[in-house]
Amino acid sequence: MSTYVCAFIEYQIDDCWQLYEAIELAEREPPYNFAPPSWGEYNFIIYYQQSGEKDLPDDLSVGLTKIIARQLNKYDDEALNRPSWMSLEELLEFFESDMDCQYAHFELDYLQKLSGMLKADIRVVFWAE
């Protein structure tokens, strides 16, 4: 069975995290999932390890909380396997450390531009199904 990866962008405004509706990148279900289509078990495990296996953030956005609830209702416990998250800074550090380009990465140019446009901190919350 193949691994299906979900990844979502959240941004922080006034000490509150909001789900970013990444329509232009989101080609997969559930809505706003911008995990690269090429991702599978290999890339997911690498990112999960790099993230420090943090689990879901305590201050998860309302929008992402609703998506998770729908997925759990639809697929039971299979919908949320090994959740974690990384800040934009952590994502950039990991990308820069991948000198041999061994791994598929998130759209970091997009995330950097988005952070500048929103004037907000960004994080990516992800898990496998």
Kindly report which listed range (3-7, 52-56, 115-119) carries the lowest average pLDDT score: 3-7
The pLDDT assigned to 125 comes to 95
pLDDT digits (tens, 9 = 90+) for 52-97: 999 999 999 999 999 899 888 887 766 678 899 999 999 999 998 9
Identify the DSSP state of 120.
Answer: S
Q: What span, in angstroms and rounded, lies between the C-alpha atoms of 91 and 71? A: 25
Phi, psi of 79 (to 5 degrees): -80, -15
The pLDDT assigned to 36 comes to 77
Q: What span, in angstroms and rounded, lies between the C-alpha atoms of 11 and 61? A: 9
Structural domains counted in the chain: 1
The pLDDT assigned to 23 comes to 58
The pLDDT assigned to 24 comes to 61
Q: Which residue range(s) make up the domain with 28?
A: 5-128
